[in-house]
Amino acid sequence: MAMLMLCDKPVYDISKDVVLDNALCPFMSADNTKKAYAIWRKHRYYLKTNRTAERVIAQSGGKNTREAKRRLSLSDSYWVKHNYDASTKFLDITPYNNSFSLMDVDRGNTRSSSVPELVLGGSQPKQWGRGQDGITYMSKAEQGKQVHAEMLAVKLAHQSRLKSMNSFVRTEQGKIYANTYPVDFDYSLLGLINIVNITSTERSMIQFDQLGIGVNGYNPLSVAEAYAKAGVAENVANIALTQVLFDSVTGNVDRENNNGNWAIFLDHKSGKRTPSWMYDFNWANLSTEATDMMTKVISYVGQAKMEKAAVGLLAPIKDACINLGLTLWYDNVQKLVNVFDK
């Protein structure tokens, strides 16, 4: 028996290829659930590197090999339950509630059966950590200039009252979160950014690539359509437009065809699917205008006849740029407004 679980609820019988809960099953397919499950597995943050983890654990022998097969994650609360897990409870094994740092284990804390240090995708070196304050975060190595731009993009998103991830850097004086991060910080001192986890045991994140959904991240209609395909029932045209505009302002070109940088949240109790908060701004640019991106965004917004809405949605971003003294990003906002407000 192999059962895909969401926390302690079975949602998909892997052995029999039967969906048991349509609302809570991460993937959706009317005709080929086995293929949909395979796509979700392929792109979920555990598979590629967890094979290495399994080999390492398998060499040590014993039940640890079983633990690796549970396929736990810190991006969602799904896991695979086998016969030997008949009495296993999610909260006893998940890295959300249990330690995964060997240092914490040495202190006498219970170790999770996951190996989250080895289950992250993307182009940059990353690893999970948890502070003494209990906050789980992902550390990502980047050049200081890029850390600086990403921290300021997060700060701008928050000050623009947009739903976004949070982040912090470590200094000799301690942690500095995005909201208090200085615009003129000496980024030559930086080489690591820490991204606060936006998921929990109550909310999972499911990325578009896990669902086999493609998106043109410069086109607000394409983004809104992709959200609908991912199961979002509400009209999210303005949310999609805001996200596209914000990337255009900050020069974050990485979301044009990167389906892993778009996602939904799944509420574990209601099964409701909503657009995720914005995350991953590591291509934000403080020095050069993303001319090609802005040209494409302007064209797509015009084709969608969303110019008036765009002007209104850009207003709080413009105000935040002024307040923070982010000159290039303010200029980008103004160029967009000048085109749309005719």
**Which H/E stretch holds residue 281?**
none
Q: What is the pLDDT of residue 112?
A: 59
Q: What is the pLDDT of residue 140?
A: 87
In a 3-state reduction of DSSP, which class is residue 272?
coil
CB 96: neighbour CB atoms within 10 A?
Answer: 23
Q: What is the pLDDT of residue 284?
A: 96
Global model pTM greater than 0.75: yes
Q: What is the pLDDT of residue 316?
A: 98
Tell which residue, 264, 277, 258, 257, has the closest CA to residue 76. 264
Strand partners, 205: 265
Helices 47-60, 33-43: axis angle to 10 degrees equals 80
Tens of pLDDT, residue by residue over 76-125, are 999 999 988 999 999 988 888 887 655 554 555 555 555 554 445 555 56
CA distances from 277 to 61, 68, 148, 274, 311 (A): 40, 29, 20, 9, 21
Highest mean pLDDT: which range of 35-44, 46-55, 84-93, 292-301: 292-301
For residues 43 and 254, give the distance between their C-alpha atoms in angstroms, rounded to a whole number: 17
Cβ-contact 180, 320 below 8 angstroms: no
Mean pLDDT value across residues 14-34? 93
Domain parsing of the chain, residue ranges: 2-118, 126-196, 203-340
Q: What is the pLDDT of residue 84?
A: 87
Radius of gyration of the chain (CA): 21
For residues 342 and 339, give the distance between their C-alpha atoms in angstroms, rounded to a whole number: 6
Tens of pLDDT, residue by residue over 214-250, are 999 999 999 999 999 999 999 999 999 999 999 999 9
For the chain, what is the total number of helices (H) and then of strands (E)?
Answer: 11, 12
DSSP secondary structure, 112-180, as one string: PS--GGG---SSS-EEEEE-TT--EEEEEE--HHHHHHHHHHHHHHHHTT--B--EEEEETTEEEEGGG
**Total number of residues shown for the chain:** 342
